[in-house]
């Protein structure tokens, strides 16, 4: 069965890693298709997460002005619509887009306004998650989380920490997550990707997120899996990306099926549509082909995704109705 036309939810999606060739051509006409494939798309197997992340640099270069940020945001909404994603949470690090003189506040303002237009144009509902990065200082993390607080009531719905989990400790970011908790800001955090289950434990103890970005290596610790299930912590699984970052040698080795069968809440996501060169429909096709997943499993993952989305109950109910109507 082809799942392209079924409504889908995507919770783990990086704006700066999802520029289509169409928008790159618009912003930098000199880039050939061959260059795009070489510079913006990662090989099927990278050395590790740090190697994979280097592919984001070219996209970030093209996201430094108001016009560029607007174009990239609208482009992603078009991609989501084409993939029949009806609700998405799009994450980005505002401090990466200051090279042409924009302030962090202006960056968020622009992406927020562009997302409003994107929703109007495509009908795709979306929230924005602002991310700090592992190599950032405490001050940079605090600046980012305070941006989330200052945009309360807009499309900005949460706070995240991303980048090289294995290369940098969590110490500089504890204060920012404490602030988020105090302010009632919904949090997710990348963990259990470049490092094992210990990284997830550490993240849960110090950051207290409601969701874990990736978190696939949680399966290596039965006690952790029991904890995740008991606490209702949601894992944002990105199968193709996990193979590219060399967590698994090949897709057949991925533990996604074991995680699903454990009963831990999880969803399927693309992570980086351009770097991984994948749509959500492609991820579904892979899981169907390799693990024999059926409609019931995909529906369950989508229902878990909207249940754990950082949005209001009214939106959750409307999206849930759409999912049930289409998938059953």
Strand order in the sheet with 85-92: 8-14, 85-92, 125-133, 156-162, 186-191, 211-214, 234-237, 266-268
The pLDDT, as a whole number, for residue 151 is 98
Evaluate whether residue 149 is within a structural domain: yes
Looking at residue 186, its pLDDT comes to: 98
Whether residue 326 is contained in a domain is answered as: no
The answer to whether residue 287 sits within a structural domain is yes
Please state, in angstroms and rounded to a whole number, the distance separating the CA atoms of residues 12 and 3.
19
Measured CA to CA, the distance from residue 174 to residue 161 in angstroms comes to: 11
Question: Global pTM?
Answer: 0.97
Residue 132 pLDDT level (bands cut at 50, 70, 90): very high
- Residue 2: pLDDT band by 50, 70, 90 thresholds? confident
Confidence of residue 110 (pLDDT cuts 50, 70, 90): very high
Closest CA to 10 of 255, 264, 236: 236
- For 169-224, the pLDDT digits (tens) are 899 999 999 999 999 999 999 999 989 999 999 999 999 999 999 999 999 999 99
Tell me if 72 is assigned to some domain.
yes
- Whether 104 contacts 149, CB under 8 Å: no
163 dihedral zone (left: phi>0; alpha: psi -120 to 50; beta): left
pLDDT at residue number 216: 97
Per-residue confidence (pLDDT) for residue 49, from 0 to 100: 84
Give the chain's domain count. 1
Higher pLDDT among residues 167 and 295, named by residue: 295
Sequence-ordered list of residues with C-beta below 8 angstroms from that of 218, at least 6 positions apart, any chain: 192, 197, 200, 212, 224, 225, 228, 235, 259, 264
Contacts of 275 (CB under 8 A, 6+ apart): 17, 18, 40, 41, 42, 52, 55, 56, 241, 244
- Is 220 part of the annotated catalytic residue set? no
State the Cα–Cα distance between residues 195 and 224, nearest whole angstrom.
Answer: 14
pLDDT at 75: 98
Residue 35 counted as domain residue: yes
Q: What is the pLDDT of residues 27-78, one digit of tens each?
A: 999 999 999 999 999 999 998 888 898 989 999 999 999 999 999 999 999 9
Q: Pick from 191, 183, 180, 187: which is nearest to 220 by CA? A: 191
Per-residue pLDDT, 194: 83
Give the mean pLDDT of 245-257: 96
Q: What is the CATH number of the domain that holds 182?
A: 3.20.20.140
Domain with 52, as residue range(s), is 8-318
Does the pLDDT of residue 274 top 90, yes or no?
A: yes
The DSSP letter of residue 253 is G
Residue 165 has pLDDT above 80, yes or no: no
- Which residue among the candidates 10, 89, 165, 193 is catalytic per the annotation? 193
Q: Residue 3 falls within a domain, yes or no?
A: no
Neighbours of 325 (CB within 10 A): 9
Residue 174 lies in a domain: yes
Question: Does pLDDT of 19 surpass 80?
Answer: yes
Largest CA distance in the chain: 53
What's the CA gap between 63 and 98, in Å, rounded?
9
Q: Mean pLDDT of all residues in the chain?
A: 96
Q: Answer whether residue 137 is part of any domain.
A: yes
């Amino acid at each position: 069965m082809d799942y392209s036309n079924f409504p889908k939810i995507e919770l783990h999606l990086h704006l700066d890693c999802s520029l289509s060739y169409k928008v790159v051509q618009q912003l930098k006409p000199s880039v050939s298709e061959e260059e795009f494939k070489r510079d913006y798309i990662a090989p099927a197997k990278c050395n590790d997460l740090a190697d994979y992340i280097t592919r984001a640099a070219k996209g970030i270069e093209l996201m430094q002005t108001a016009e560029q940020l607007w174009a990239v945001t609208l482009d992603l909404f078009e991609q989501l619509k084409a993939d029949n994603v009806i609700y998405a949470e799009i994450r980005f690090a505002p401090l990466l887009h200051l090279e042409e003189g924009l302030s962090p506040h202006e960056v968020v303002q622009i992406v927020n306004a562009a997302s409003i237009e994107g929703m109007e144009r495509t009908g795709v509902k979306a929230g924005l998650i602002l991310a700090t990065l592992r190599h950032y200082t405490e001050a940079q993390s605090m600046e980012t989380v305070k941006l989330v607080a200052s945009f309360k009531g807009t499309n900005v719905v949460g706070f995240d920490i991303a980048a090289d989990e294995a290369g940098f400790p969590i110490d500089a970011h504890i204060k920012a997550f404490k602030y988020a908790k105090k302010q009632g800001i919904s949090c997710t955090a990348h963990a259990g990707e470049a490092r094992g289950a210990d990284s997830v434990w550490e993240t849960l103890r110090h950051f207290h997120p409601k969701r874990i970005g990736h978190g696939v290596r949680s399966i290596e610790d039965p006690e952790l899996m029991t904890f995740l299930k008991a606490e209702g912590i949601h894992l944002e699984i990105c199968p193709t990306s996990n193979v590219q970052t060399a967590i698994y040698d090949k897709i057949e080795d991925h533990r996604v099926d074991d995680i699903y069968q454990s009963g831990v809440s999880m969803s399927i996501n693309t992570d980086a549509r351009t770097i991984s060169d994948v749509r959500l429909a492609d991820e579904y096709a892979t899981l169907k082909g390799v693990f024999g997943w059926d409609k019931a499993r995909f529906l369950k993952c989508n229902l878990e995704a909207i249940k754990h989305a950082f949005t209001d109950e009214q939106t959750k109910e409307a999206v849930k109705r759409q999912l049930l109507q289409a998938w059953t």
